[in-house]
Amino acid sequence: MDYRLHGFIDAHSRVIEIAQVIARQAPLGVQATLRNARVAQRESDVAAEALDKSAQGTYGITIAHGSPMLSLIPKMLSSTVSFAGFSMGINYGSNKVRYISPVPVDAKLRGVIRLESLTRTPHGAQVVFGVTIEREGADKPSCVAEVISLLIE
């Protein structure tokens, strides 16, 4: 299945600018929020078949859980973090990922990105982001993750 993320940056939030953190003009712990994001399921025969099957499951609707949720994180990062000054960013992996509550397809989401650490490397920097994906109307976050990116200058 193909999942897409749509949303916009909260007007009261800011984009995390890695170059400013390196220059010590911005602190670690700076946070940005992507609001009104939605995970939408692409229309296709495969998607329609999955929809029929999941409608008969525990939740009675299609759930974007596990890998589809994790795949939203790079899109959220590219929407909320400025990687200006770097020629390339590489997904280096995750320290922790927890899927706490289910996300129905077309649910309204909010992604909160927090810069946890930044370590200079000979070729750029290694950054760790704390990511929380929340669903409108849910008591608990849907996904909490700590992801690592390598940035090449």
* DSSP state letter for 124: E
Q: With CA atoms as reference, report the closest residue to 78 among 23, 1, 149.
A: 149
Q: What is the pTM of this model?
A: 0.76
Q: Mean pLDDT for the chain?
A: 77
pLDDT digits (tens, 9 = 90+) for 121-145: 999 999 999 999 998 888 999 999 9
Cα–Cα distance for residue pair 45/34, rounded to 1 Å: 31
Q: Looking at the domain 7-38+64-152, which fold is it?
A: Thiol Ester Dehydrase; Chain A (3.10.129)
Cα–Cα distance for residue pair 110/136, rounded to 1 Å: 8
Q: Is the pLDDT of residue 27 over 50?
A: yes
pLDDT digits (tens, 9 = 90+) for 43-88: 334 455 555 565 666 766 777 767 777 888 888 888 888 888 899 9
Give me the mean pLDDT over the 16-20 stretch.
Answer: 74
